Each structure stands twice: as structure tokens, then as C-alpha cells.
A = this chain, B = another copy of it.
Amino acid sequence: MGPIAHGHDHGGAECWAERATETLATAGYRRGGARAALISLLDDQRCALSAAEIEDTLRDGDGGRPVARASIYRILEELEALKLITRVEVGQGLARFEAARTEGHHHHMVCDACGQVIPFEDPDLERAIQQLARRVEFTVAEHDVVLHGACAACAAS
């Protein structure tokens, strides 16, 4: 595949993929095709993907480079340990993963009818959680808010 196959417009902010690659290098990791493909894919996404979706997209997608399931999980594990991605538990034993960008922190609404995952942001909610984190005797590292219910389409039917 081409050296810079996927064109990103790096307006002014450094893209996440770059930061991830640097962080990995600093942490002593070498470069590898599978990891590069996975990082590139995650960088293109607007919302969380499941491991299965990642595998399918890498196999069938354009920048397509088949990556073994084991490698996917191993790489996701590394990225999560370095806090480069966030794990989102959406229920039914399914986990989803997404790039941990500095901007655009968000949470998810999961339609229990069709399984669709919709991201949303809410400053008030974030504020409430931060104030809460200060009050409790517990060191909060991450927080996860999942709203279950029905999306517009499923609620109508």
C-alpha cells in the first residue's frame, strides 16, 4: 500500500495517529504493518468500533490489509494501556474502541433495538462528573456514560 494512502487534512491540530505513533515509539514499541493499519483505521473513525468491525473493515476496506484477530486484540490492549484509545462497554459482552482524542470527548447512546451507537457531548454532564470525582474517596481515571433506549427510527416503528 502507498506510503500516505489516506489523505488527512491536518488543518492546524496534530492528528491522533501521529501522536499515537510517537507515543508508541517513546514507549519502546517498534513499528509494524498491522498496528499501523489499525491506527490509521481508528484515526478515520468518528465513533467507537467493535473488534469484529475493525477486523472486517481492515480486510474489506480500501486501505485494506487483513489483520489477524489476535493481533487486533493485542494492539488494542497496548493502545488502551497507553491511554491512546478508550474502551466503551455497550452491553451484551461487546466492547467498542475509539481513539482517545484530546478534543471531542464524548459518550454514547445505544439503541437496544438496532444496536446503533450514537455519540453525544454534554458539558454539564462532564462538569457534574468532575465535581463528583473531587468529592469521593476514589481516584477517577476514566468515566463512561451509556444511555440505553431507542433511536429515532426504532422509536417511530
Which of B124, B129, B148 is in CB contact (< 8 Å) with A132? B124
Query: How far apart are the CA atoms of A21 and B121 in the complex, in Å?
Result: 39
Which of B95, B129, B152 is in CB contact (< 8 Å) with A138? B152
Interface size class of A (residues with CB under 8 A): 35 or more
Q: How distant is A108 from chain B, measured CB to nearest CB, in Å?
A: 10
Query: How far apart are the CA atoms of A150 and B133 in the complex, in Å?
Result: 12
Among residues of B, the one whose C-beta sits closest to the C-beta of A94 is B93
Binds B, one of A9-17, A63-71, A139-147: A139-147
Q: How distant is A117 from chain B, measured CB to nearest CB, in Å?
A: 11
* In the complex, chain B residues whose CB is within 8 Å of the CB of A143: 145-148
Task: Evaluate whether A124 and B131 lie within 8 angstroms (CB atoms) in the complex, with A140-B109, A146-B89, A147-B138 already known.
Answer: yes
Q: Are B120 and A132 in contact (CB under 8 A)?
A: yes
Interface membership of A118, Cβ < 8 A? yes
Q: Are B148 and A145 in contact (CB under 8 A)?
A: no
Task: Evaluate whether A142 and B133 lie within 8 angstroms (CB atoms) in the complex, with A122-B128, A124-B128, A128-B124 already known.
Answer: no
Task: Evaluate whether A152 and B137 lie within 8 angstroms (CB atoms) in the complex, with A89-B90, A93-B93 already known.
Answer: yes
Query: How far apart are the CA atoms of A142 and B89 in the complex, in Å?
Result: 15
Q: How distant is A98 from chain B, measured CB to nearest CB, in Å?
A: 15
0 or 1 for each of A64-96: is its CB under 8 Å from B? (1 = yes)? 000000000000000000000001011101010
10 of the cross-chain contacts (CB-CB < 8 Å) are A89-B91, A93-B93, A93-B95, A109-B136, A125-B125, A129-B145, A138-B151, A140-B147, A142-B148, A143-B146
